Amino acid sequence: MNHLNKPAIEWRKEIVQGSRLWLGRAITLAESKKKEDRSFLTEILDGYTGNQKSSRIAISGPPGVGKSSFIEVFGGQLAEKHSVAVLSIDPSSPVTGGSILGDKTRMEKLTAHPNVYIRPSPSGNTLGGVALHTYEVILLCEMAGYTHILIETVGVGQSETSVRQLSDHFLLLLNAGGGDELQGIKRGVMELANTFVFTKSDLLSDAILRNSTQDLKNALHVLRPEELNNIGIFSTTVQDATTIEAVLLSASNAVESLRNSGRLVELRNNQLALKLNQLVEEELLNAFHQNEAIIQMMNQFKNQLQNGGITLSAAVHELMDQIKIGKEIK
Ligand SMILES: Nc1nc2c(ncn2[C@@H]2O[C@H](COP(=O)(O)OP(=O)(O)OP(=O)(O)O)[C@@H](O)[C@H]2O)c(=O)[nH]1
Ligand SMILES: [Mg+2]
């Protein structure tokens, strides 16, 4: 197949040689909903499963906590020795225009750095969709020679799980505060992160930072007692390059130790299996809810349930029968 008059193998050559133009075009294919684009991408990726020597680091946290500002410094330090791709995804909002503009100004130096490739992802997709195309975007970036992939995502509960499944290391940025800041963070997210970073420490007193750190340690002591020694906890500000470097070292060491023990391959393979499950479930659910016959039956049952015309279990069984007899759930 030809796309833009170029066979897939030529696209791949361009990408491997580091052409940002063709990398960008391939990423657009990954983000496309068109079937022919997706299958052309399969041809480009043909057999490529990523770089086993790369590091994929997710950086998540609540809106405005300072993710992009942190990445500007953290990514800049990485870029001194490595080539870095920064992917920002925002599954929570249907419009990313604002945050893309924000990121451009907050990652000014990084944007101009020759070793750095920055790509904001359009959102408005389903979470699974974001996870799928981001995974393919990671592969494309690695194919293009980027060895460090930073994935920024706004933490909105579910999105962290999705992004965790794409990364080797999960950095969670947190607001320190009056002591109740941890309550806003879901327990599940606390269980996902490898490194915790309180941001904007320049705006806070030492006492507040100490209390927040202690609260976090207490929570982790209950939730993850055996891992406590492997979890990094930091307080920093964008002006504090030394601490950000310490965060970088801690994250890099963690990924290296995974790699050296062989657990990185295992982790990535498990992630792929999980993603397959997640995506199939999501596709099934979408297909179910978009199916005309199902929609009609659901509406009919809703009425019948209200006036006792059908029992709940009978309604469920009839809907399931509709699937079993294979009436296209496309
Ligand atoms: N004082 C201070 N302000 C900071 C620091 N880090 C970030 N900020 C400010 O906090 C605001 C939000 O920063 P961003 O880096 O855009 O935060 P974000 O988490 O990427 O935001 P979204 O992507 O919109 O969720 C900006 O006005 C930054 O200038 C810091 O260390 N100290
Ligand atoms: Mg941001």
Q: Is the CB of 89 inside a 6 Å radius of any atom of ligand 1?
A: no
Instruction: Indicate if ligand 1 lies below 6 Å from the C-beta of 66.
Output: yes
CA of 153 to the centre of ligand 2 (A): 8
Question: Ligand 2 centre from 170 Cα, in Å?
Answer: 16
**For position 96, what pLDDT does the model report?**
45
Site to probe by mutation for ligand 1, drawn from 59, 60, 68 as the one with most ligand atoms within 8 Å of Cβ, is: 68
Q: Residue ranges of the domains in the chain?
A: 1-47, 49-261, 276-324
Distance 144 CA to ligand 1 centre (A): 30
Closest residue (by CA) to atom 12 of ligand 1? 64
Is residue 208 within 6 Å of ligand 1 at its C-beta?
no
Q: Is 64 in the pocket of ligand 1 (CB under 6 A)?
A: yes
Residues forming beta bridges with residue 235, ordered by sequence position: 198
- In short, whether 174's Cβ falls inside 6 Å of ligand 1 is no
Residue 177 identity (one-letter amino acid): G
User: What is the distance of C-alpha 51 from the center of its chain?
Assistant: 18
CA 310 to ligand 2 centroid distance, Å: 50
Residue 124 is encoded by which pair of tokens? 């408005």
- CB of 101 closer than 6 A to ligand 1? no
Shortest-distance atom of ligand 1 to CA 90: 23
Residues of the chain with pLDDT under 70: 1-2, 90-105, 122-131, 156-158, 178-186, 325-330
The pTM of the full predicted model, rounded to 2 decimals, is 0.87
Q: Which atom of ligand 1 has the smallest separation from the CA of 173?
A: 19
Name the CATH superfamily housing domain 49-261.
Answer: P-loop containing nucleotide triphosphate hydrolases (3.40.50.300)
Best residue among 69, 100, 104, 239 to mutate for probing ligand 1, ranked by most atoms within 8 Å of CB: 69
CATH class of the 1-47 domain in this structure:
mainly alpha
| Residue of minimum CA distance from atom 4 in ligand 1 | 200
Residue whose tokens read 């870029």? 79
